[in-house]
Copies of this chain bind each other. A is one copy, B any other.
């Protein structure tokens, strides 16, 4: 295994988040969050000294501090250096350039942290403004100003409002329009029992709750202003159809799926009633206190109304991934015996596929979710047994609801299926990792695929090719 060199890692992490190393208050906040994360790891029944978790507290601290660095940024500093004189029309009637010439920047990808649950959410941000006073602002500043507010504990509507009012007051244009398309991860349990939960916003198949919000200032305050049509038309040219998305204000309370659990017994704010297993040696209260201290370390006020239930909800999220004391054992009894159509031995030569089994797991290196789908291909056992899809889904669920890494998840699913069938198993896991978008590297849209080949799949290229083709066909049609 690799050398875990502290000095190097520290340097690299500092570098990654673009922070000046050695700043005193920064160091202090980092230590506070590290300590809190250790409490959380212990609360989850984990050994914070094991190899994969050793540096997790530091990584989490850096990710949180980077993700909320907007608290330390000032819009004035960003915009003041980048207002440029630009003529409007010289002679004719109309709107153009530095007087009235609508400017729209589309598809700026960013992320924020949900103030209700501390999980990151992704944002596609579109900003329009109408220059006035013969001046325009450098285009990149629209993105930078949006980021000042995205890099805080947020919720979509306030974020949009803060961006539009900050741009209005710093650039002083005729008006500003902001449109955000936000995606928040769902609860892992809703992936398996969607029917049990009534979340009024749109749940798509990728495991996201989506919300679209608008905000405006100046002339855009008038909803019938003709510039609205222009703004929406320019978005449409890039395939952005804001009006077709669920209006955010139709959501009763909040878009955050963890908020919807507040009303359920034994959840959210009522979580304090839940008894924790004493074997973890960490009380519920000390976990909540730990999260509260993280919020304070970020420079926020944990007693702000919107943050009141946040520690409980974050812990609710985390406890989905609590270490369980038992191992999943598939027994022959749990398999569904399939009729072999009278042909003895037919099953073991037929490849079975179960595609796109959804999962949501938690990366043990960053305490951040990763989620996606699992594809399983296998040959029936020599006795002609096959596995029901719901059994495979339970297996996927069992191995994903813990602190994990994708490589291990892939192997564990494959090994477990192989242990009962003994013929051939192939597993492909495709996932989006929140840690890839909500930290220094910010690779939005990047996805990770992992592969495990056992038995016949590792020796028969034809079987492997058939399974890969099955996924390909499924992806193309799905």
Interface residues of A (CB under 8 A from B): 1-6, 8-9, 11-13, 15-16, 18, 20, 51-52, 55, 73, 76-98, 100-109, 131, 133-140, 143-144, 147, 226, 229-230, 233-234, 236-238, 365, 405-408, 410-411, 414-415, 418-419, 427-428, 430, 433, 435-436, 439, 441-455, 457-459, 461, 464-465, 468, 471-472, 475
Contacts and interface: CB of A to CB of B under 8 A. Distances in A.
Nearest to A52: B84
Contacts of A1: 83-85, 133-135
Closest 6 interchain pairs by CB? A2-B83, A9-B81, A96-B452, A97-B411, A1-B85, A94-B454
A471 B229 CA distance: 14
Contacts of A448: 103-106, 139
A421 B442 CA distance: 49
Identify which of A136, A147, A230, A451 gathers the most chain B CB atoms within 10 Å of its CB. A451
A83 B3 CA distance: 7
A435 B455 CA distance: 51
B103 A465 contact: no
Given A107-B445, A109-B443, A461-B226, A96 B410 contact: yes
A415 B471 contact: no
B94 A430 contact: no
B411 A458 contact: no
Given A94-B455, A428-B234, A81 B407 contact: no
A55 to B, nearest CB: 7
Query: Interface majority SS on A: helix, strand, loop or mixed?
Result: mixed
Nearest to A461: B226
26 contacts: A1-B133, A2-B84, A4-B80, A5-B80, A5-B81, A55-B81, A92-B415, A92-B454, A92-B455, A93-B458, A94-B453, A94-B458, A95-B453, A96-B452, A97-B410, A101-B411, A106-B448, A108-B446, A109-B443, A136-B405, A139-B436, A140-B443, A143-B443, A143-B446, A144-B441, A229-B461
A407 B94 contact: no
A439 B140 contact: yes
Nearest to A4: B81
A233 to B, nearest CB: 4
A82 B446 contact: no
Nearest to A138: B365
Given A2-B135, A144-B441, A95 B458 contact: yes
A468 B229 contact: yes
Nearest to A454: B94
Given A84-B51, A89-B454, A237 B135 contact: no
Contacts of A100: 453
A447 B83 contact: no
B94 A475 contact: no
A214 B472 CA distance: 22
Given A84-B365, A443-B109, A449-B104, A97 B230 contact: no
Contacts of A88: 411
Nearest to A229: B465
B98 A471 contact: no
Nearest to A467: B233
A86 B407 contact: yes
Point out which of A2, A11, A13 has the most chain B C-beta atoms below 10 A from its C-beta: A2
Contacts of A83: 1-4
A172 B419 CA distance: 30
Nearest to A435: B140
